[in-house]
Each structure stands twice: as structure tokens, then as C-alpha cells.
Structure 1
């Protein structure tokens, strides 16, 4: 891991946050040797930073297993941040209504740097096992919500996000080049919504709509997801008005909360 990033210029606090990010990125309790193997810091520095994080309850240390994991204080802060700064609270009633109206799985997502962060999920009347769960991150280029947000992101940010995509071929229909993705994004802008055509997981399809401020700034995306065993893309497309209504309602409620519209560009959905 390259630790020469932004935190290196922020003294001890920046370094400690980098280590905290590193431990959390494993997604499981991790031993010191594993952290050291992926760290740019020398062993004494890394050990000192870990001890500081443990003493502040940002990390916990299991003496028997000799592993580090996110601590109670970090969990409390994460819950507070989630409730206060995400779209979850604003979107919750609209997601529920959309799920009931469509009887399908509904997702709420935001961009997290060059990835998709799933914020909330409402299961279908008959749930289907799939990758997406609240708190998980996924690829932008082969998910409906990712493409919906990217299509309405300003050009400079979109270019940066596209440059960071891995373009791994998850399924036969996965877009695997920047050129193919850009062509898809142009089509999404023209019709106002995106599809996932089994691009990330076999049998999983969705229709996704961006959540936009009046100036066109992307707040997130909402999607309705189903399976090829239950419906097809044409069937999902009939739900576009319901998905758009939910996205618009979330955007309107977000404007009343802590999501001021500072956008300087205007990107409107087709038909507006």
C-alpha cells in the first residue's frame, strides 16, 4: 500500500488515520505482521500508531489471537456519521414505498471516490441472494447505480473515475474498455436511466436512476433490481416512472436537509 498520500502531510493524525483505513480495509481482524507487510511505515512507527489507536478505542486488540479490529469508538462515530451525513434517513420512506410498489429489491447508493457505496437496501417480496449490501462497495462501470451516477457526473470527475476502473470482465456482458463505457454513458444521459444487463452477477438485472439536485449535481442513485428468472429489461423499464418519482422525491427532501445545491452545471434527465 502506498502511504505517501494525503495523510503523510498531516503529521501523526494523518498517519494514524491511514493505518486505521488500512486495518479496516482487510474486512476482518488482522495481525500486526499483515499490516506491516502492506505498510510504508517502519515497524516501530507502525506499532506506535496502532497502540495509539487502541488506547483511543478506535481499534480493539484481541490478546489471545493477537489481532486488530475496528474499535467501539470507531463504530459509534461511523453510526453517527451514517445517520447525519448520508442520504439514508432522507431516502428511507421513499425506498420503502418503491419496494412495496414494485415488489422488487431496491438499492440506494452514492459514489465513494471511484467506487459505488451501497447505503441502503430493501429486499423484494421474495429476496434473492446478491452481492450488494448496505455498507459494501462495488465497481462503478458494471453496476446500474454506478453507471447512472457516472453518466451525470461532470466531465472532469467522470474522467478521473473512469481512469481508476479495473475493467475486469465479471460476466460476458461486462463493459471492459473506457470507450465502451463512455458510449454507454452517452446512451444513459439520452434516456435518463441506466441498466445492469447481468454485467456484475449472473441473472441479476436492474434499472437505476440518478438522484440529482436542480443544478444537476449527483447526490446518489436509486435502483430496482430483479432476476432474469422473474422478469427482463423491458419489464424493468416499465418501472422507470416509479423509479424516477422516487429519485425526484429523495432529491426534493434532501434539499430541505443538509445537502445544499452548490452545483455550477446543469444536467437534466431526458424529457425535462
Structure 2
């Protein structure tokens, strides 16, 4: 029996094609047609047609031998263009690199994206530690240092909107898994100017983070210095606070005339 198409979203063929792209990207490896069809809302013929169009446009690549689809080179070029044009990363990179060298720890640069944290750059020292975040990855805002630093300085109405998008899933025993707990922490962050990840997203991973604010006090990004509990304590991370805040201020000044999407 043919599958029934999902409810119309108003985005037409473009929206359907983007859904397929998202699905291929989410798998994280080359994927077969049968795998995509298994949880697709589109009929077999529609899915095949969308895949063929994406391949012909270079958004997907098809391996004849393995009979698998993967993200195409055109999509990579578009991603790099977006990184240059709508991210603070290219401007911030020298400052991020300098902070990573000074601190001897991993430094993340992030922005808010639809209520989540989008990591736009990551600089590792020579003794990097393994963790979830990578440039291009999306993570939860409510249990990451950069996410909380960003949320703490949003306008009240914007904060309400972002909070409605949080899952408050308890990743660890330290996760702030209710809105009330998070709001209390955000109040403290506004007072102190820095946020902490106290093993709230990953066991053993801690960080100190600061918002990057424009001249109107609007957060345009956030910066964090991340380490493991085997290397440093939260108190020891506090020693990095002056350098972290100085770096955030330098980045804000460098991007002051840059225009970013809302």
C-alpha cells in the first residue's frame, strides 16, 4: 500500500525537498532509499522524485555502487557561504583562537537559532578533550553555558518565546530541568555577567561563558571556555573570567557594524 502524503505545510515542493535534506543530514552517514522511505511521510514515487531533483542540483550525492545518498558538494558551498555571511564566526575567529591559547582550553562560539544553540566555531588547544559540541552542531540552550549566557540578556518577550522551545530534559543530575530553576539561574547570570555549565549537559564537562552584546545590549553571540572536571574545578575556571569578558567585548566591537539576521 502506498504511503499517504503528510499534511500540507504551505511550503510546496521546496519544503518537501528540505525535509528530505534534513533527514539525510540527520542520519549522519550515507543512507539508502529504503531507510529514508521507512519513516517518510511521502509516497515512494514522490520521495524518489525529490531525491532525484536534489541529486541533479548537487544538494545530494548518489553512490551507484553502494546505492546510498549523502550530502552534496553544493550544499557544502552554501554552508560555507552562510557561515561567512550570517555568522559572527569569521570576524571572531582570531579572538577565539587567542583566548583558547591563553586559557589552554577549548573555546566555543555560539549563536541562538530557533531557541537552540548553534555552535559556529570551536578552537581546541593541543590537549583537547572529547565533548558533544562541534562547529555546525545544534545543542540545547537551557543546559549549556553559551545558551544560558545568551538567554539571560534577551528582552523579556524574546526570553519567553525561547523558553517555550526548551524541552527541560534532564541530561544529567545537574540539569536545570524546570523553567523556574532556569529563570533563577538566568537572574544570577545577568547580575554576574557570566554563566556556568555545571555538568548540566554532559557528565564531567564544565564551562564558563559570557554573552557577546552589541551597543544596545542585545546578545549577538556567546563565548565559552570549556574543560573537564578532571582538569579544572569551577572555581579555577573563574580565573579565566577577565580574559573571557575582554574577548567578548573585543568581538562585540569588531562586529558592531555587521548586520545579522534577526
TM-score, normalised with respect to structure 1: 0.88
Deviation at 1:229, TM superposition (A): 2.2
| Greater CA drift, 178-187 or 24-33 | 24-33
Aligned to 2:167: 166
Deviation at 1:125, TM superposition (A): 4.4
Pick closer, same or farther for the CA change 1:257–1:161 going to 2, 3 Å: closer
Residue of structure 2 in register with 1:141 after alignment:
142
1:116, 1:140 within 8 Å by CA — same for their partners in 2? yes
CA distance in 2, matches of 1:204, 1:168: 17
- Asked if structure 2 preserves the Cα contact closer than 8 Å seen for 1:32 and 1:67, the reply is yes
Give the distance between the partners of 2:217 and 2:34, measured in 1 at CA.
47
Q: CA deviation at 1:193?
A: 1.2
Counterpart of 1:27?
Answer: 28
Distance 1:3 1:73, change over 3 A: farther
Q: Distance in 1 between matches of 2:86 and 2:54?
A: 24
Residues 142 and 200 of structure 1 are in contact (CA less than 8 Å); yes or no, is this contact kept in structure 2? yes
Deviations 1:171-197 (A, max 9, x none): 221111111111111111111110011
**Cα separation, 1, equivalents of 2:156 and 2:52:** 43
What's 1:16 paired with?
Answer: 17
Q: Relative to 1, partners in 2 of residues 1:165 and 1:37: Cα closer, same or farther, differing over 3 Å?
A: farther
- Deviation per residue, 1:245-272 (Å, 9 max, x gap): 1111111111233349x8xxxxxxxxxx
Aligned partner of 1:84 in structure 2 is 85
Report the more deviating stretch, 21-30 or 220-229. 21-30
Root mean square deviation of aligned Cα: 2.0
Following superposition, the deviation at residue 103 of structure 1 comes to 1.6
**Unmatched 5+ stretches in structure 1:** 263-272
Residues 1:120 and 2:121 aligned together: yes
After TM superposition, give the deviation of residue 3 of structure 1 in Å.
6.1
Q: Normalised by the size of structure 2, how large is the TM-score?
A: 0.91
SS state at 1:184 partner: helix
**CA distance 1:35–1:114, change in 2 (3 Å):** farther
1:191 to 2:192 alignment? yes
What does residue range 1-272 of structure 1 map to in structure 2 within 5 Å? Answer: 4=7, 8-259=9-260
> 1:106 aligns to what SS in structure 2?
strand
> What is the DSSP-based 3-state SS (H/G/I as helix, E as strand, rest coil) of the residue aligned with 2:247?
helix
Contact 2:120 2:136 in 1 (8 A): yes
The 8 Å contact of residues 3 and 18 in structure 1, kept in 2 or not, is answered as no
- Change in Cα spacing, 1:83 to 1:3, as seen in structure 2 (3 Å) is farther
Matched-pair contact (CA < 8 Å) for 2:215–2:256: no
Q: Distance in 1 between matches of 2:32 and 2:156?
A: 42
Cα distance, 1:11 vs. partner?
A: 2.7
Q: Which of 87-96 and 8-17 deviates more?
A: 8-17
Secondary structure at 2:200 match in 1: coil
- Whether the 8 Å CA contact 1:107–1:118 is kept in 2: the answer is yes
